[in-house]
Amino acid sequence: MSVAYSSTRVEVAIVGGGPAGLMLSHLLHSAGIDNTVIDNRSVTAIENTHRAGILERDSVRLLVESGVSDRVLREGQEHRGIDLRFGGASHRIDFQDAVGASCWLYPQTEVFADLHRARVRDGGDLRYGVTGTEVLDVRDEPRVRCVGADGRPQEIRADLVIGADGSRSVCRGLVGGATRYFREYPFAWFGVLVEAPPSAPELIYARSEQGFALISQRTRTVQRMYFQCDPSEDPSAWSDDRIWDQLQTRLAGTDGFTLREGPVIERTVLPFRSFVQTPMRHGRLLLAGDAAHTVPPTGAKGLNLALADVRVLAEAVERGLRGGDDDALTRYTDRALARVWKAQHFSYWMTTLLHRVASASDFDERRQLGELDSIVGSAAGTAYLAEGYTGWPNS
């Protein structure tokens, strides 16, 4: 028996309605390109998925200047530096001094909320909570099929399909002949949300004999913290006391710093890996964001990279569909990957700079401290970190 699909035709079908998919949808809409977004998650599920909280300067600019929202400038916090903490003391990296740039503390959940509101405001076709997504005929006549949240089968025919469906992408697998680059790490991050006041005005990245820890923030009363752990750790097996004990030991020092405690309200173990798939185009299908690449969370590059991808992709799609420049869609891979590999290196580098590897020798440990000293003790070292952290200029 054949299924009766309700069928629509759009220029671009976007699989994945997280920040990358919605930002692309917004940019395409602004360029007059009609598009439909589908996602198997509900809006509430995405709103409650905690991810990183730091936006590069150009990510902030994109949100504001493309007309999504300027809430980041009113409710986000400008951070003009970070602390690197090692040897029992904090060393400030002043971004403004080093490279004249800042980043913004503005959690991904807020970025999603702004984008979702903007797309609803502008009448976007957003279909959340779909099931059974299938992407077909990507070589020449792409179609997306799914069952809507109302239980009715839908088919979307499009000129292009964009896979912005995250690190568990189904679209990724449709790119025939792709090359995949992987790196696994022998650790993960234990992430917590805690009810406590901030302990410092900016983020603290700490290297200690017990391993890495990061003190980030969310609001005046809720903070986000992480510490290096074994990838097999079960978060539910950890009591609040045990978590605080780990964090306190890793932040301990001789400079009077106090880490302020409170109840742990959420705990998760975050996977830790580097991944790139190339090319990002296959026929009429293109990939964006985590679907094509993953970075470890050190340095908070994931969301920023996804936003950088879709900024370049929106332009390529406009040229491809409106300017008859199909090559622009092919060139997208190289344009996006230039930034992706810089960010891959930066995230890997910050990770190895601050984490403890069980097999590390005395030599390795002292070399790591030497590297930290040469970053905080040299203008060139500080500028290198500051430039990567606040984000390289758009190409």
Mention every residue, 6+ apart, whose C-beta is less than 8 A from residue 191. 50, 224, 225, 226, 266, 267, 268, 269, 270
Residue of 25, 69, 154, 216 that binds ligand PHB (CB under 6 A):
216
Q: Is residue 54 a contact residue for ligand PHB (CB under 6 A)?
A: yes
Q: Is residue 19 a contact residue for ligand PHB (CB under 6 A)?
A: no
* 106 is known as an active-site residue: no
Q: Where are the beta strands (DSSP E) in 152-210?
A: 153-163, 179-184, 188-195, 204-208
Residue of 79, 145, 224, 311 that binds ligand PHB (CB under 6 A):
224
How far is residue 88's CA from residue 85's CA, in Å, rounded to a whole number?
7
Interface with ligand PHB (CB under 6 A), residue total 11
Given 185, 301, 332, 355, the catalytic residue? 301
Six-digit token pair at 324?
């008859």
Given 19, 26, 29, 79, the catalytic residue? 79
Q: Is residue 300 a contact residue for ligand PHB (CB under 6 A)?
A: yes
Tell me, what DSSP letter sits at residue 110?
H
* 5 is known as an active-site residue: no
Cβ distance to ligand PHB smaller for residue 21 or 388: 388
Q: For residue 351, which amino acid is it?
A: T
Q: Is residue 206 a contact residue for ligand PHB (CB under 6 A)?
A: no
Tell me, what DSSP letter sits at residue 149?
T
* 185 is known as an active-site residue: no
Q: How many CB atoms neighbour CB 194 within 10 A?
A: 22
How far is residue 51's CA from residue 84's CA, in Å, rounded to a whole number?
21
* 297 is known as an active-site residue: yes
Helix (H, G, I), strand (E, B) or coil at 6: strand
Which stretch, 9-17, 20-28, 151-159, 298-306, contacts ligand PHB (CB under 6 A)?
Answer: 298-306
The contact mask relative to ligand PHB for 160-199 (x = CB under 6 A, - = no) is ----------------------------------------
Q: For residue 231, which amino acid is it?
A: P
Given 205, 279, 296, 355, the catalytic residue? 205
* 342 is known as an active-site residue: no
Cβ distance to ligand PHB smaller for residue 54 or 316: 54
Task: Say if CB 50 and CB 139 are below 8 A apart.
Answer: no
Shortest Å distance, C-beta 65 to ligand PHB: 24
How far is residue 297's CA from residue 310's CA, in Å, rounded to a whole number?
20
Helix (H, G, I), strand (E, B) or coil at 280: coil
Q: Is residue 299 a contact residue for ligand PHB (CB under 6 A)?
A: yes
Cβ distance to ligand PHB smaller for residue 66 or 219: 219
Residue 386, strand partner residues: none
Task: Say if CB 245 and CB 235 are below 8 A apart.
Answer: no
- Give the residue numbers marked as catalytic: 79, 205, 297, 301, 389
Q: Which stretches of the chain bind ligand PHB, using CB under 6 A? A: 52-54, 203, 214, 216, 224, 297-300
